[in-house]
Structure 1
């Protein structure tokens, strides 16, 4: 172990420079702390380099491909001849490079000390990086996550993860996607737009199983219409590779043949071998256990982001990073509740949700004490202009506030901001119905849904 007697010391030492880590570092500097930021790869972490940004760039290219195919419906004569993956990747990588350059410059300008290399916790106040010890009066663990696989399912050859899929320079003719959650449906959506014959295999009874049942029904209907195949309710058994591709076998004996298998079964916390448990931090199935204020219960060690049990979203980690910096400063920030973290799945059609879905609300308040309304986007002028369909569903406690909002439709994720305010501030439908929503926008649909839930629908 390195000698820590003369180790460089910081007020706050952050282990990991992804969304949660760099947010903690930036807010800590604003609060007057000295900060060391340890990162083994690149500033920005998974979200910038292998997650949010590159996948959404691909989804935008996919949207443009669909627009080209359907342009004649809108009086524009175009043709979609082919997908140039080299150009798609150049566009994607250009976005990443620009954001990385901006973040790197920002971190440098704020006087944050960036320590390159893999950090390991070697005490309650010490992190070792490349044989050198660094001390922190406070330590923030923000080591992120990795693409998971299943026991016995090895990644390699024609069995890939989303990390590999983001770097592909050629498209397969066909693909099986193992997992019908966020990653799976987003890649299925991209690949279908690019002309790939995509089939999702999901062991649970439906796609995106954590969403409201009404949203699930709408997505599955839309995917069928788009020609995206899916098989739900039967678990994966095995995959065999051959010269032609892969043969995927399910537990019921059903088989699927394709050029490759994309394993999209979620992300695991990156905590193994980093000394957390040895330092006394409680780790359960790889996740760091904290209290509601993100403290580990050991020394002045906190944890944020994907390594903390809960929804694995970049903006959650980002907000947690800010929270911890505020907490260390003694500012007593409000506790971040996972249920009020907005979620968007950027497939086509998009899904956006915040708060309790109907089954969760009925479990909490009782079935007879929950009221819901579904507003069909067919009645929304801007949605008709965009050529999209879907619904906005509001869930309220009977005679009480709105406790959940769930939406599906093209570009509907842009409405999640107001939805989060409505749920987080415990607004009543009557409050939202009184607000003025610009016409014609999809945002109007939130107002219409609120009027319906308040018992005074104008268009229904």
Structure 2
């Protein structure tokens, strides 16, 4: 017979939504149990956001040294090309994952959250069995927070296995593939494809739509496209992947020609889907919205005291959205009046160069009822001083014409991700162009481009 644990709150999933929800529940004095079948931290920390950014960082250093071995860079030259011990790179990446994983565990312990390692299987909306190393454990809760996250989408003609891999396997390859074909030109495919191109892979990208990063406007994406072309990345846009062949991946080009692109690894990054199978969702009687769990603006499901957050409830499928929802739900359970109604959620592509989008883009607004200010990095002193001005980077601000209220900010350029909080904050607090124009921005910094973009929208930029 299974041991029985009764608790106020049961959180299922230890990713950035689940562990934040559990920690906040603990801080609020709620008796909380967190069930996680893998490592604490979830996809983002263990096999997604964090390890991929570590790999991108290492790849950039390697590429810079390789260039310095070919020709002097800033007066710096190397007498021989750098050597890459990719196993050591992966091992370094894992030290970061281990440190953060341990940190999450310590934070949960400090918040007095009980962590149960195992896979939850629900028999009804408030009861699950977890097969732990010590035997089955039955957990009954007053409130359940579902935070099971998402998994990579698998194509029926390109099943994962062997050289056909998802982003998870790409981050732990034993060596850099000499030839890498990436199926899907969204942010995951381009981030990893760019990193492996820096590490020396011959990269081919196959995308069914007619451009890379199809969710973003062409001007924003253009610097990334140009970087890929300069690095010799082979782009097949408007093309279809047909299936694996002995020598690589068979594709059909936009012109109808069938080709086979040679590949040592085929990375499939055509999206992610909510993890709704294998843990008894069907036993919980919650309403669905397509493949997602339906929730209201408090993240409440159709079943009383069952809550769902993060990737499980729909787009945007971003870690920081999940964390914000998890914190909110914890406070609602504790009796606070909260709802999830952000004005904007920032999204970042860690491509080369990076892209940030917050709020509405130029295709989302009426051109006759809006003003747009764009300031190029080519006119920014900090960008010039770190050789980040020549790749076409810029900051663009979109505001309502009558009120000057900022409704969107987009930017592309090196290290531009670090300005995402400033962009989101401006929209969240309802800032107008004059607010940003009136703030003294430190010089020399990339943030001055935000200031100048606001001035440009007002018609009096200083440095262009």
Give the TM-score normalised by structure 1.
0.94
Matched residues in 2 for 1:369 and 1:80: separation? Answer: 54
Provide the secondary structure at the position in 1 that maps to 2:61: helix
Matches within 5 A, 1:363-442: 366-388=366-388, 389=391, 390-400=393-403, 401-442=405-446
- What are the superposed Cα offsets for residues 34-80 of structure 1, whole Å, 9 maximum, x if unpaired? 10000111111111110011101101101111221344221122354
Task: Give the conservation status (yes or no) of the 8 Å contact 2:360–2:408.
Answer: yes
- The residue that corresponds to 2:449 in the other structure is 445
1:210 aligns with 2:215: yes
**Where does structure 1 lack aligned partners over 5 or more consecutive residues?**
none
Matched residues in 2 for 1:133 and 1:30: separation? Answer: 24
- The residue that corresponds to 2:362 in the other structure is 358
Runs of 4+ in 1 over 4 A off after TM superposition: none
- The residue that corresponds to 2:54 in the other structure is 57
Matched residues in 1 for 2:438 and 2:86: separation? Answer: 48
Say which of 300, 306, 310 aligns to 1:301. Answer: 306
Q: How many residues align?
A: 449
Task: Give the conservation status (yes or no) of the 8 Å contact 1:238–1:250.
Answer: no
Q: What is the deviation of 1:298?
A: 0.4
Task: Give the conservation status (yes or no) of the 8 Å contact 1:239–1:249.
Answer: no
Say which of 320, 330, 334 aligns to 1:329. Answer: 334
- What are the superposed Cα offsets for residues 324-375 of structure 1, whole Å, 9 maximum, x if unpaired? 11121222224243x6111111121111111111112x2xxx3311222221
- The residue that corresponds to 1:220 in the other structure is 225
Matched residues in 2 for 1:441 and 1:70: separation? Answer: 26
Task: Give the conservation status (yes or no) of the 8 Å contact 1:176–1:200.
Answer: yes
Task: Give the conservation status (yes or no) of the 8 Å contact 1:118–1:129.
Answer: yes
Task: Give the conservation status (yes or no) of the 8 Å contact 1:212–1:406.
Answer: no
- The residue that corresponds to 2:257 in the other structure is 253
Matched residues in 2 for 1:194 and 1:380: separation? Answer: 29
Provide the secondary structure at the position in 1 that maps to 2:327: helix
- The residue that corresponds to 2:38 in the other structure is 41
Task: Give the conservation status (yes or no) of the 8 Å contact 2:33–2:115.
Answer: yes
Task: Give the conservation status (yes or no) of the 8 Å contact 1:204–1:235.
Answer: no
- The residue that corresponds to 1:265 in the other structure is 270
Q: What is the deviation of 1:217?
A: 2.2
Matched residues in 2 for 1:198 and 1:343: separation? Answer: 25
- The residue that corresponds to 1:342 in the other structure is 346
- What are the superposed Cα offsets for residues 6-56 of structure 1, whole Å, 9 maximum, x if unpaired? 832111100011110000000011111010000111111111110011101
1:90 aligns with 2:91: yes
Matched residues in 2 for 1:254 and 1:284: separation? Answer: 38
Matched residues in 2 for 1:91 and 1:10: separation? Answer: 39
Matches within 5 A, 1:124-203: 124-130=125-131, 131-203=136-208
The alignment yields a C-alpha RMSD, in angstroms, of 1.7
- The residue that corresponds to 2:113 in the other structure is 112
Q: What is the deviation of 1:440?
A: 0.6
Task: Give the conservation status (yes or no) of the 8 Å contact 1:203–1:233.
Answer: yes
Q: What is the deviation of 1:97?
A: 1.1
Matched residues in 1 for 2:326 and 2:443: separation? Answer: 37
Q: What is the deviation of 1:262?
A: 0.6
